[in-house]
Structure 1
Amino acid sequence: MSRPQKHVFVCSQNRPANHPRGACTHKASNDVLQAFWQQLQQRDAYDTVSVTYSGCLGPCDQGANVLVYPEGILYGKVTKDDVNEIFDKHLLGDEPVERLRVAPEAW
């Protein structure tokens, strides 16, 4: 396997339901993660994209959070319906999805 050009981290932080910061898993981050893995498989993009689940990525109020490297772009309030657009525009097209970006000062 070659070194991927893009690395996607999907927050899979799980906290108790009453935790003051919340948790991305309560905002369907597992569905987002599964959608990324499904797109990765359907597109056979294993040589260019890597998808990894992660712990907390920062602004819990913006979850479900997705972080893309090497650019260091954080997407917030991502749903499984956004994954195809992120894949097409950003991961394969090198154009960030502006409507989902979290402001740099937020994290």
Structure 2
Amino acid sequence: MNKPNRHIFVCTSSRPTGQQKGMCLNKEGVSVMMKFMEEIGERDLGGDVAITNTGCFGLCEQGPIVVVYPDNVWYKKVSADDVEEIMDKHIEGGEPVTRLLI
């Protein structure tokens, strides 16, 4: 596997036991994750962009949280409807989506 240019982390409230519960799960974190996976596939960016679901970032009231590395950009209250904009502006365009920044 090649090292990706960017790595997107999406809080889905996973726990070490595999159980999912919590704010980001209740706020559609899994839907956000699935939409990112769909967009990465449709844009043929699988070798350039990796995606990983995570446990809690500790910012539950602002979830779902999305973090993009190596840019160290943190997004709050991301919905599946925001994913296309993040992909267009940030992942492909290099400019973070300011209205979602933490």
TM-score where L is the length of structure 1: 0.85
Alignment-mate amino acid for residue 35 of structure 1: K
SS at match of 2:83: helix
Q: Give the match for residue 2 of structure 2.
A: 2
Query: Quick one: distance in 2 between partners of 1:85 and 1:58?
Result: 25
Q: Give the match for residue 53 of structure 2.
A: 53
2:86 paired with 1:86 = yes
Query: Quick one: distance in 1 between partners of 2:84 and 2:69?
Result: 17
State the shift of 1:47 in Å.
1.6
Identity fraction in percent: 44
List gaps (5 residues or longer) in structure 2.
Answer: 14-19
> RMSD over aligned Cα, in angstroms?
1.0
Query: Quick one: distance in 1 between partners of 2:68 and 2:7?
Result: 6
TM-score where L is the length of structure 2: 0.89
SS at match of 1:71: coil
Query: Quick one: distance in 2 between partners of 1:99 and 1:31?
Result: 20
| Count of matched residue positions in the alignment of Structure 1 and Structure 2 | 96
1:1-107 paired onto structure 2 within 5 Å: 1-13=1-13, 14-15=20-21, 22-102=22-102
Query: Quick one: distance in 1 between partners of 2:45 and 2:57?
Result: 24
The CA deviation string for residues 1-24 of structure 1, in whole angstroms up to 9 with x for no partner, is: 321111000001033xxxxxx520
Alignment-mate amino acid for residue 55 of structure 1: G
More deviation, 29-38/50-59: 50-59
Alignment-mate amino acid for residue 6 of structure 1: R
